[in-house]
Structure 1
Amino acid sequence: MVSQAVHERRMIRQRQNRHRFRDDKIAYWFLLPVVGLLGIFVIWPAIYAGYLSFQNWSFYKDPEFVGWKNFTDVMSDPLFWAAVGRGFVFVAMTVPPMLVLAFLFASLVVSVGRKFASVLKVSIYIPTIISAVITSIIFVLIYDYSGGLLNWFLGFLGVDPIAWIGDPAWALLAIAVPAIWLGMGLTSLIMVAAMVDIPQEFYEAAAMEGANWWQKTAFITLPQMKNILLYLLITGFVAAIQQFELPLVMTNGGPLDSTMLPNLFIFNHFRNDINVGYSIAAALLMFVVLGTVSAVVFKFVNSERLVD
């Protein structure tokens, strides 16, 4: 009897292993096209870009190995580091306000009725589906010095017109506003999903203790959403510092390079400099900067999963 039971368990285990192998094989076949496309359009271009970053290369001549010269040229270029620093300023202008506004909007959505919440979610998501180029054109018309809607409104209040995208003191802020508007939709919906997932028993117990909205937010909502907030912080940082379309269309990096963000700086260098290796080296250094900052954020922000 014992040997028969052992034999039956062995047969069951073999059948399970056979089915598991078959399922793994099917999964690998499904992954093969994705891995192939990833290798063609991501992995191989990244490897080739790394190779060209060590070359003095252009579209008109063969590559010539120059070692670390492209990287040293980029690292000694004050304009590159000025663009990176300006990118961090742009992140500070956009990410914190966007997270705060998205959190307040998400709190409003989860506190109203279902029908009104659906209208709010659709309205906040509309900017996400609008092209950044179209948004740039719209805000250029809004910021127009002589006929723009914003200066008309300020004139109605007795304030003199302001050259929003023509004055270095205001240009970066003028670009930050549409960036916040574009990013709020998806950020708000992610926060809504996170808030809905929080057990209502926590809020009911807090209400029985006499907690108000601020106390519930500080001691329940924010701690329960810390992983979502960390994700939105990282993705918001990466998206903001890589912003390209808004400064390109609205100001082309001006006036006086006040809106020359890193990606626009690399793009302008790529289209104006015959040495493409410099631009590739600058792009790789930006990748290092983004990875380093993301790692630092993960290091100093506790992202362990909450346990009920």
Structure 2
Amino acid sequence: MSTTTELISKAEVKRLNKSKYRDTRLAFLMLAPVTIMLGIFVIYPAFQAVYLSFQDWSFYKPPEFVGWRNFTNVLSDPLFFAAIRRGFVFVLMTVPIMLVLAFLFASLVVSVGKKFATTLKVSIYIPTIISGVIASIIFVLIYDYSGGLLNATLANFDVAPIAWIGDPKWALFAIAIPAIWLGMGLTSLIMVAAMVDIPEEFYEAAAMEGANWWQKTLYITIPQMKNVILYLLITGFVASIQQFELPLVMTGGGPLDSTNLPNLFIFNHFRNDITVGYSIAAALLLFVVLGTVSALIFKVLNSEKLVD
């Protein structure tokens, strides 16, 4: 009897191993196209970029090894650091406002009826599907000095016309507005999903204790959304500091480089310099900046898995 049981157990184990091997092989087969594409279009170009960053290379001559010269040129260029500082200022002008507005909008969505909530979610998501170039053109028309909608509206309050994208004092702020508008849709929907996932029992228990909306938000909603807010903070930081389309189309980096953000600075250098080693080195250093700041955000906020 025991021998028969052992044979059955061995057969069952063998069958399970075959099934597991078949599932693993199928998984690798399904992942193969994505892995190949990732290798061709991401991994290989990344290693090639690191290699070329140590070369004096252009499209017209073979690469020549120059060591760390490209990196030292970037690190000794005050224009590069000015672009990085400008990028951080742009992040401070966009990400906090976008997160607050998205949080308030998400709170409104989860507090209204289902039909009205659907209408609100569709309306807030519309800017997300609009091309950044089209949005740039729309806001250029809005900001137009003589015939723009914004100055026409301000004229009703006896405010003199402002050169929104022609004055270095206002240009970066003028670009921040459409950046917030374009990013709010997806941010709001992610926050809505996070709020809906919070157990209703938490709010019922808080209501029984006499908690108001602010107390529920401060002690329940925000702590339960900690990981989501962390994710949105990092992705918002990365997207904002790498903003490219808006300054390119709206101002071209001007006036007086006031909107020359890091990606646009690297692109302009690449476009105007026949040797691309500097541009590649600058892009890699920007990558280091993004990775370092993202790691610091993780460290400071100390993301942890929530336990109900």
TM-score interval, smaller chain: over 0.9
* Unpaired runs of at least 5, structure 1: none
Q: CA deviation at 1:48?
A: 0.8
Question: Counterpart amino acid of 2:98?
Answer: M
Which whole-Å CA distance do the structure 1 matches of 2:51 and 2:29 have between them? 31
Q: CA deviation at 1:15?
A: 1.4
Question: Counterpart amino acid of 1:174?
Answer: A
Which whole-Å CA distance do the structure 2 matches of 1:9 and 1:88 have between them? 63
Question: Counterpart amino acid of 2:236?
Answer: G
In structure 2, what is the equivalent of residue 160 of structure 1?
A: 160
Alignment of 1:144-293 (within 5 A): 144-293=144-293
In structure 1, what is the equivalent of residue 14 of structure 2?
A: 14
Which whole-Å CA distance do the structure 2 matches of 1:215 and 1:9 have between them? 58
Superposed CA deviations along residues 112-132 of structure 1, whole A, max 9, x for unmatched, are 000000000000000000000
Which whole-Å CA distance do the structure 1 matches of 2:32 and 2:115 have between them? 43
* Unpaired runs of at least 5, structure 2: none
The CA RMSD measured in Å over matched residues stands at 0.8
Q: CA deviation at 1:79?
A: 0.1
In structure 1, what is the equivalent of residue 100 of structure 2?
A: 100
- Where 1:57 maps in the other structure, the secondary structure is strand
Which whole-Å CA distance do the structure 1 matches of 2:306 and 2:77 have between them? 45
Which whole-Å CA distance do the structure 1 matches of 2:6 and 2:235 have between them? 53
In structure 1, what is the equivalent of residue 47 of structure 2?
A: 47
Q: CA deviation at 1:241?
A: 0.3
Which whole-Å CA distance do the structure 1 matches of 2:5 and 2:259 have between them? 75
In structure 2, what is the equivalent of residue 26 of structure 1?
A: 26
Which whole-Å CA distance do the structure 2 matches of 1:86 and 1:258 have between them? 8
Q: CA deviation at 1:3?
A: 4.2
Deviant stretches of 4+, over 6 Å = none
Which whole-Å CA distance do the structure 2 matches of 1:208 and 1:122 have between them? 34
Count of aligned positions: 308
In structure 2, what is the equivalent of residue 110 of structure 1?
A: 110
Superposed CA deviations along residues 230-254 of structure 1, whole A, max 9, x for unmatched, are 0000000000000000000000000
Query: How does the TM-score come out when normalised to structure 1?
Result: 0.99
In structure 2, what is the equivalent of residue 58 of structure 1?
A: 58
In structure 2, what is the equivalent of residue 36 of structure 1?
A: 36
Question: Counterpart amino acid of 2:255?
Answer: P
